[in-house]
Amino acid sequence: MKAMTVKFESQKVSRLYFTAAIGLFVGQIVFGLTLGLQYLIGDLVFPAIPFNIARMVHTNLLIVWLLFGFMGSAYFLIPEEADTELYSPFLAKLLFWIFLVAGAATILGYLLVPYAKLAEWTGNDFLQTMGREFLEQPLPTKVGIVIVALGFLFNISMTVLKGRKTAISLVLLMGLWGLALMFLFSFVNPNNLVRDKMYWWFVVHLWVEGTWELILGALLAFVLVKTTGVDREVIDKWLYLIITMALVTGILGTGHHFYFIGLPGYWGWVGSVFSALEPIPFFMMTLFAFNMVQRRKREHPNQAAVLWAVGTAVMGFLGAGLWGFIHTLSPVNYYTHGSQVTAAHGHRPSTAPTCWWSSR
């Protein structure tokens, strides 16, 4: 493998995280293909890997490889933006192995131990947090994720504090801190089903359509600074506009998950209006990427990186923006909630029984 070209030696820590992210992504694809085949061949690898277990592994791998990717990107980006070595490369490596081992142990637990027994063994009776989609992790794993996240955020925050402060690094920090804080709602699992779903969406929606957009914007801005040579001031102005729209529409757009679950009727209006505006920051990212490439001051030798940056912006707009807009208006969502339309958008149909019952 060609040696990684870095400005600071501590940036090489990111290679561990990128390697793990790629491996876990491949694992997600394998389990996704297994799920698809089980629709056609119902007893495929049954009873060794039932459909519900394969699906749980598939969705959990999605979360874990994304977190590894975010952390690796931060360890690569922050030292260069701060113009200083990472605060503690040792801590970054230690947290990597803790996270990887804990993640692997959790996946093995899903595959080898009946889920009810796993819940009993890991203290779910003490604090009930398991069983909710994307948040199926046992309590020790959730606690471990919080510890790893705090150590990671301490490391990169101290790096920024001791070095140069830029808009890109500060937006990235805001997104990563927001991601960690929203995850704390995964420990809240009230008996009231309406409140349960509300808090669950505080994690799932405010990750995907809130904090992750800030992280995406910061990473895209960093790549465009490096590959186009456009003045940083121009890129910073675009970044501020994008994250403002992302936060305003993303936070209030959470309301499109509150249709028909027992919350006040005004969420039909709030959710519909701000969900209709949610494609705007994604479209702005697409315009941002194309505009910066057109205004570039140099031809970067790594054209694959340039095309990848533009491509991610386009796919984000089409998948999360346009496809989401099609069905998040409440009169449309009334008929599509729980259907393949919502599943294809990534809004899984697990809440369908609740919505179906309370809409009657």
Task: Give the domain range for residue 264.
Answer: 193-360
pLDDT at 349: 35
Asked, for residue 185, whether it belongs to a domain, the answer is no
The answer to whether residue 120 is domain-embedded is: yes
202, with CB counted inside 10 A (0-12, 13-18, 19+), is buried
276 and 140 within one domain? no
pLDDT at position 340 over 80: no
User: What percent of the chain shows pLDDT beyond 90?
Assistant: 61
For residue 68, is pLDDT > 90? yes
Both 203 and 149 in a single domain?
A: no
Is residue 61 within 8 Å of residue 24, measured between CB atoms? yes
Least confident of 102-116, 138-152, 203-217, 339-353: 339-353
Cα three-residue angle 257-68-24, rounded to 5 degrees: 90
pLDDT over 60 at 262, yes or no: yes
Q: Which residue would you say has higher pLDDT here, 357 or 209?
A: 209
Is the pLDDT score of 116 beyond 90? yes
Query: Same domain for 159 and 199?
Result: no
Say which range, 30-34, 62-66, 168-172, 322-326, has the weakest mean pLDDT: 322-326
Q: Is the pLDDT of residue 229 over 50?
A: yes
Closest of 357, 13, 4 to residue 194, by C-alpha: 357
263 and 360 belong to one structural domain: yes
Please indicate, yes or no, whether residues 9 and 151 belong to a single structural domain of this protein: yes
Supply 303's token pair.
């054209």
Structure tokens at 114: 């009946």
| Mean pLDDT calculated for residue range 231-235 | 91
What's the CA gap between 231 and 317, in Å, rounded?
Answer: 25
Mean pLDDT of 146-167: 95
Based on the fold, state whether residues 138 and 230 are members of the same structural domain. no
Question: Are 28 and 58 contacting, i.e. CB atoms less than 8 angstroms apart?
Answer: yes
Task: Over range 332-343, report the average pLDDT.
Answer: 76
Q: Judge whether residue 360 has pLDDT over 60.
A: no
Query: Based on the number of CB atoms within 10 Å of its own CB, is 15 exposed (0-12), middle (13-18) or buried (19 or more)?
Result: middle
Would 187 be classed as within a structural domain?
no
In a domain, 285, yes or no: yes
Q: Is the pLDDT of residue 320 over 80?
A: no
Do 154 and 213 have their domain in common?
no
Asked which of 6-20, 148-162, 178-192, 285-299 is least confident by mean pLDDT, the reply is 285-299
Residue 288 lies in a domain: yes
264 & 324 share domain? yes
Query: Residue 175: inside a domain, yes or no?
Result: no
d(CA 179, CA 71): 12
- Asked whether residue 241 is assigned to any structural domain, the reply reads yes
Q: What is the CATH number of the domain that holds 203?
A: 1.20.210.10
**Residue 192 DSSP label:** S
Q: What is the mean pLDDT of the chain?
A: 88
CB 317 within 8 A of CB 279: yes
3-state secondary structure of 332: helix
CA distance 61 to 24: 6
Structure tokens at 309: 């940056």
Q: How confident is the model at residue 4 (pLDDT cuts 50, 70, 90)?
A: low
Q: What is the pLDDT of residue 19?
A: 96
Return the pLDDT at 156: 96
Q: Mean pLDDT, to the nearest integer, of 240-255?
A: 92
Q: Give the dihedral sign, CA 17/20/24/29.
A: positive
pTM of the prediction? 0.89
Mean pLDDT in residue range 219-238: 91
3-state secondary structure of 163: coil
Same domain, 343 and 243: yes
For the chain, what is the domain count?
2
What gap in Å lies between CA 167 and CA 159, rounded to an integer? 15
Least confident range of 28-32, 95-99, 151-155, 316-320? 316-320
Mean pLDDT value of segment 288-302:
86
Burial class (CB in 10 A: 0-12, 13-18, 19+), 45: middle
Condensed to tens digits (0 to 9), the pLDDT of residues 44-57 reads 988 889 999 999 99
C-alpha closest to that of 81 among 204, 219, 252:
219
Residue 178 falls inside a structural domain: no
Same domain, 213 and 108: no
| pLDDT tens digit sequence for 195-224 | 998 999 999 889 988 899 899 999 999 999
Q: Are residues 153 and 208 in the same domain?
A: no
Cβ atoms of 176 and 215 within 8 Å: the answer is yes
Q: Examine the domain organization and report whether 142 and 213 are in the same domain.
A: no
Q: Would the pLDDT of 122 be above 60? A: yes
Q: Which whole number is the average pLDDT over 266-295?
A: 90
Residue 343: per-residue pLDDT: 64
